[in-house]
Chain A
Amino acid sequence: MRRGWAWAINGYLAAVLGFLYLPIAVMMVMAFNQSSLYELPVRFDTVWFEALARNDRLLRASLNSVLLALANTVVATVLGTMAALAFARYRFRGRALLQLLLFPPITIPWLIIGTSMLVLFFWIGIGRGLHAMLLGHVALSLPYVIVVVAARLKSFGPALEEAAATLGASPWQTFWRVSAPVMAPGVVAAALFAFAVSFDQFVISYFLAAPGVSTLPVEIYSAIRKGFTPEINAVSTIIILVSMGIMLLVARFYRFGGER
């Protein structure tokens, strides 16, 4: 009986992992397949990566994506950390309302957010382009950053900061010597989150992209519409490796965060 259960549970686990990783694995294998028609058996070749290296459109879009994600990471992490500190350590008018307003954007479909941003940005003259995408991405990733940093702040409470004050540390010294190092794992995790949210973002980028200025996911989408080439497999393989690397880092810092 118990043996049967063990088999069932392991089988279930294998199914879940297969479901998650098999499509990715297929794509990565095909990126190294010489045939453009997915012919088997696989003949190993890096021809698609070489083609990718010559594809200026895709490369420029990749560079845009990385720069945008980096800018978003810096802006969203700084603003989000400040907001989380305010929520966790200060009482002010409208605090509860503001905190409540953080969450709905997470649940509103991106398509709708993207459309409304496009409309608003046109209306107030911001228009489209990388700057508009940056605004959109920051707005999108802020709630995540705030939630992650606030969770970390909650885990140690104001007692450490109070202790620092009784020992003669000014608010400035308290922040840099106590608050900042203790919440650092949360901030790093939040920053990686912000990077991933921006780097993987398609819908909002698609709406806010200006002609000729797009990001990698947008470029992949238009490339697929024109006709699928295994270059997309190659570039996707690179993205997957980068994204998974980042998420593994997040997981690592999260564990640090829980250790306390």
Chain B
Amino acid sequence: MSVVDISGVSKRYDRVVALDDVSLTFAEGEFFGLLGPSGSGKTTLLRSIAGFVEPEAGAIRIDGADVRDTPVHRRDIGMVFQNYALFPHMSVFENIAFGLAVRGVAGAETAERVRAMLALVRLAGYEERRPRQLSGGQQQRVALARALITRPRVLLLDEPLGALDRRLRQEMQIELKSIQREVGITTAFVTHDQEEALTLSDRIAIFNEGRVVQVGAPSAVYERPETVFAAGFLGDANFFAGRAAGRGDGLGRVRVEGPGALLTADPLPADGDPVTLAVRPEKIALTAADAAPAPAGAPLNRLDGRVVQSVYSGNSITYKIAVAGAELTVFEQNRASRPFPAGAAVRLAWSPEHSVVVRP
């Protein structure tokens, strides 16, 4: 049973199309990531679910009921805003209790539930502080507690960790996920941070120019991107544009100007039709050009190249490698005792199943 059902939602601002026929469903208890560059429509969709934006076409259903005519305050949602939007004239306690206060919940019950929330977000003892006396991470947790205390049907997070520095953001990601699990609430969150989307989401929808370009589990979307945009936005990718050139041994061949024939495990269009392959930088193995050739085994894509640049980042090294007129990015764990220097001749190899056919 889906908690939120979005079907065919469109919205335009003047001439700019913000949402173009978007359909998604959030399952019970699901942590759903809305990922895309700024202006891709993800925030507009979140605000449509909340009720701040009125779509021109399509329907949004919460628990099966169309919410078109339901004002924001009756939608039974919780929302965490990018800059938290804590009430500056209220204490932490009053902020968290706000949703109960407007519902006329009795004082004793309110105190009990606020205490439980403060324990959940590990802020016990902060009841009397003012929002401005808290750090960014603490404010974030107050905002989360405030949104959760009314036990809403859906939790909406608008770039919830965007205002935090990197280390705190990583800590909060783990905490956010564990709180969400504990409460079991259906959650939709907007982010432009691909790593955050991969870490937190049960499923991800990738947005571009108002459309959903791909939906799936993080690993599925990452390993099997369907479009050039999805491959390039979620992670890095090397692209090879060529033409389909037959099949053999269950593998497709793609003729690419420069590198020559490349193998893929994906189905191909008719011979001669244009094909684009995407290869993740970490799927490519590097060996020195003068090393003994690997024993013949499973068929591999093999190319010779020369290191143009190597960027050392401690646990990993990112190489730029010139191959037959193109420049490829290769990402290696720092396992070798000596990284390849710039100018070194190297051999690249990757398995055909890592050549993913993507649509333009």
A, B bound:
yes
Contacts of B146 in A (CB 8 A): 163, 167
A173 at the interface (CB under 8 A from B): yes
Q: How far is the CB of A234 from chain B (nearest CB, A)?
A: 43
A162 touches B52 (CB 8 A): yes
Interface residues of A in 149-203 (CB under 8 A from B): 156, 159-160, 162-171, 173-174, 177-178, 181-182
Contacts of B88 in A (CB 8 A): 156, 160, 182, 260
B85 touches A170 (CB 8 A): no
Contacts of A167 in B (CB 8 A): 73, 78, 98-99, 102, 146-147, 150
B310 at the interface (CB under 8 A from A): no
Interface residue count on the B side (C-beta < 8 Å) = 29
Contacts of B77 in A (CB 8 A): 166
B79 touches A170 (CB 8 A): no
A159 touches B132 (CB 8 A): no
When A167-B98, A168-B102, A169-B98 are in contact, do A162 and B87 touch as well, CB less than 8 Å? no
Expressed in whole angstroms, the Cα–Cα distance for A170 and B79 within the complex equals: 16
As a 0/1 sequence over residues 146 to 179 of chain B, the CB contacts with chain A under 8 angstroms (1 = contact) are 1100100000100000000000000000000000
Q: Which of A162, A164, A168, A178 contacts B150 (CB 8 A)?
A: A168
B81 at the interface (CB under 8 A from A): yes
Q: How far is the CB of A161 from chain B (nearest CB, A)?
A: 9
A170 touches B87 (CB 8 A): no
Q: How far is the CB of A160 from chain B (nearest CB, A)?
A: 5
B73 touches A168 (CB 8 A): yes
Q: Which of A166, A173, A260 contacts B72 (CB 8 A)?
A: A166
When A164-B98, A166-B79, A167-B102 are in contact, do A182 and B89 touch as well, CB less than 8 Å? yes
Q: How far is the CB of A183 from chain B (nearest CB, A)?
A: 10
Q: How far is the CB of B284 from chain A (nearest CB, A)?
A: 45
B87 touches A168 (CB 8 A): no
A177 touches B85 (CB 8 A): no
A159 touches B87 (CB 8 A): no
Contacts of A168 in B (CB 8 A): 73-74, 76, 99, 102-103, 150
A159 touches B85 (CB 8 A): yes
Q: How far is the CB of B4 from chain A (nearest CB, A)?
A: 15
User: Which residue of the partner chain B has the closest CB to A162?
Assistant: B52
Which of A159, A171, A181: most chain B Cβ within 10 A?
A159
When A167-B102, A177-B98 are in contact, do A162 and B89 touch as well, CB less than 8 Å? no
A260 touches B132 (CB 8 A): yes
Contacts of B50 in A (CB 8 A): 162, 166
B79 touches A163 (CB 8 A): yes
Expressed in whole angstroms, the Cα–Cα distance for A60 and B177 within the complex equals: 71
B25 at the interface (CB under 8 A from A): no
Contacts of B102 in A (CB 8 A): 164, 167-170, 173, 177
User: Which residue of the partner chain A has the closest CB to B75?
Assistant: A166
Expressed in whole angstroms, the Cα–Cα distance for A15 and B212 within the complex equals: 68
Expressed in whole angstroms, the Cα–Cα distance for A202 and B147 within the complex equals: 54
Contacts of B91 in A (CB 8 A): none
B72 touches A159 (CB 8 A): no
Q: How far is the CB of B323 from chain A (nearest CB, A)?
A: 50
Q: How far is the CB of A203 from chain B (nearest CB, A)?
A: 40
A182 touches B87 (CB 8 A): yes
As a 0/1 sequence over residues 6 to 39 of chain B, the CB contacts with chain A under 8 angstroms (1 = contact) are 0000000000000000000000000000000000
Expressed in whole angstroms, the Cα–Cα distance for A100 and B322 within the complex equals: 60
Interface residues of B in 62-95 (CB under 8 A from A): 71-79, 81, 83, 85-89
Q: How far is the CB of B295 from chain A (nearest CB, A)?
A: 62
Q: How far is the CB of B266 from chain A (nearest CB, A)?
A: 44
User: Which residue of the partner chain B has the closest CB to A163?
Assistant: B85
Q: How far is the CB of A156 from chain B (nearest CB, A)?
A: 7
When A162-B52, A177-B98, A177-B102 are in contact, do A169 and B73 touch as well, CB less than 8 Å? yes
Expressed in whole angstroms, the Cα–Cα distance for A60 and B89 within the complex equals: 43
Contacts of A162 in B (CB 8 A): 50, 52, 72, 79, 81, 85
Q: How far is the CB of B13 from chain A (nearest CB, A)?
A: 12
A165 touches B87 (CB 8 A): no
Q: How far is the CB of B157 from chain A (nearest CB, A)?
A: 12
User: Which residue of the partner chain B has the closest CB to A178?
Assistant: B87
User: Which residue of the partner chain A has the closest CB to B47?
Assistant: A162
- Closest CB pairs A-B (n = 8): A167-B99, A159-B85, A163-B85, A165-B72, A166-B79, A169-B102, A181-B89, A165-B73
A residues whose Cβ falls under 8 Å from a Cβ of B: 156, 159-160, 162-171, 173-174, 177-178, 181-182, 260
Sample of 11 A–B contacts (CB below 8 Å): A162-B72, A164-B87, A165-B72, A165-B73, A167-B78, A167-B146, A167-B150, A168-B76, A174-B73, A177-B98, A260-B88
